[in-house]
Amino acid sequence: MGDKPKTLPSSCREKKRYITFEILASEKIEIGELIKGVWSSVINLIGCLGVAKTNFKFIKELCKNQKFVVRCLPKDVELIRLALSLISEINGKKVCIRSLGVTGTIKAAKIKFFKNDSEEKGTEKN
């Protein structure tokens, strides 16, 4: 009775890509404002059905120091980058969103793009 449902083997699952972005703004952007702005931009560009087909997801755990990560399918990376590059304002604050890079795993995104943030925090404490 307590059996877990079987999951698909990794060879049958769709591949994912994780795109890391940086927000350049004069004022700090709150996470809630950022999520609303990103979702509205992506939906405005590709529509609800397009968002569903891209398997788009905002990774909240990796929102640190004005950097954030989104997930999508490999074929839709450029479409998501386009949608986010078109954002010029979030909640009345002027912003510029810059793409830092694309990785195949969350772990690689942490190592490549968030490693320096943790090192800076360590040096500030000393």
Q: What is the pLDDT of residues 69-82, one digit of tens each?
A: 999 999 999 999 99
The domain ranges of the chain are 17-121
pLDDT-based confidence at 1, cuts 50/70/90?
A: low
* Fold entry, domain 17-121: Alpha-Beta Plaits (3.30.70)
SS3 100: strand
Using CA atoms, how far apart are residues 69 and 102, in angstroms rounded to an integer? 9
Strand partners, 97: 23
Confidence of residue 16 (pLDDT cuts 50, 70, 90): very high
Assign 46 to helix, strand or coil: helix
Instruction: Say if residue 124's pLDDT is above 70.
Output: no
Model pTM score:
0.81
Task: For residue 16, count CB atoms less than 10 angstroms from its CB and return exposed for 0-12, middle for 13-18, buried for 19 or more.
Answer: middle
